[in-house]
């Protein structure tokens, strides 16, 4: 069904910035067609997982952006946390994989979040990519075809 992505993202931001008492900056490209045909609850869950992780694995502010590029909607979630090694970047989308660090253990969780997120996005014909540097932070980007 038609889903308004802008509203969906704003809802996630509202919910998690309150839950974590965290600054989440939202950058919205203006004049984009932000309606996509999607499963609204699933898409909400996918975005929620990324922003929730950014909050769990960093303690600074978070940047979220929504833009349109080549007929795709791009949603990027940037954090300034510990980042991930090249090796871990290959593995984190696997079910039950968790980076063995005190931080992950402390944050709790099962290691399913990113696997679920990836499955949801791929079911919508999109993909998810990561750009990360150890000790600098991570950016996860969801691409959804319109
Ligand atoms: P849950 O299933 O409850 O979400 P989880 O957060 O451990 O548990 P994933 O969301 O799949 O599961 O994440 C897998 C692992 O990837 C995490 O345990 C963490 O080590 C690492 N990770 C995920 N997001 C980030 C991030 N933004 N910065 C650094 N590490 C991350």
Q: Is 46 in the pocket of ligand 1 (CB under 6 A)?
A: no
What pLDDT does 30 receive? Answer: 85
Classify each residue of 51-72 as buried b or exposed e, where b means 16 or more C-beta atoms within 10 Å of its C-beta: bbbbbbbbeeebbbbbeeeeeb
What pLDDT does 15 receive? Answer: 98
**73-132, pLDDT tens digit by residue?**
999 999 999 999 999 999 999 998 999 765 666 677 789 999 999 999 999 999 999 999
Q: Is 57 in the pocket of ligand 1 (CB under 6 A)?
A: yes
What pLDDT does 96 receive? Answer: 87
- Rounded to an integer, what distance in angstroms lies between the CA atom of residue 93 and that of residue 96? 9
Instruction: Name the token pair of 35.
Output: 């309606």
- Rounded to an integer, what distance in angstroms lies between the CA atom of residue 140 and that of residue 37? 22
What pLDDT does 103 receive? Answer: 63
Confidence band of 36 (pLDDT split at 50, 70, 90): very high
Ligand 1 center from residue 50 Cα (angstroms)? 9
Instruction: Name the token pair of 63.
Output: 């940047």
Which atom of ligand 1 is nearest to 101's Cα? 20
Of all protein residues, the one whose alpha carbon is nearest to atom 31 of ligand 1 is: 57
- Rounded to an integer, what distance in angstroms lies between the CA atom of residue 64 and that of residue 43? 15
User: The dihedral of CA 99, 104, 110, 114: what is its sign?
Assistant: negative
Contact 137, 81 (CB under 8 A): yes
- Rounded to an integer, what distance in angstroms lies between the CA atom of residue 38 and that of residue 146? 9
Q: Are strands 137-145 and 127-133 parallel, antiparallel or unpaired?
A: antiparallel
Which atom of ligand 1 is nearest to 58's Cα? 28
What pLDDT does 110 receive? Answer: 85
């Amino acid at each position: 069904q038609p889903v308004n992505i802008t509203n969906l993202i704003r809802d996630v931001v509202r919910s998690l910035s309150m839950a974590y008492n965290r600054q989440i900056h939202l950058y919205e490209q203006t004049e984009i067609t932000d309606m996509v045909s999607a499963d609204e609850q699933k898409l909400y869950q996918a975005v929620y997982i990324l922003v929730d992780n950014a909050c769990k694995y960093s303690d600074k502010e978070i940047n979220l952006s929504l833009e349109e590029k080549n007929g795709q909607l791009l949603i990027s979630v940037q954090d300034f946390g510990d980042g991930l090694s090249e090796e871990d970047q290959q593995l984190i989308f696997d079910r039950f994989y968790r980076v063995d660090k005190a931080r992950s253990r402390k944050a709790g969780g099962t290691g399913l979040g990113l696997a679920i997120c990836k499955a949801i996005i791929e079911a919508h014909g999109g993909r998810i990519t990561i750009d990360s540097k150890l000790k600098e932070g991570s950016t996860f980007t969801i691409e959804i075809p319109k």
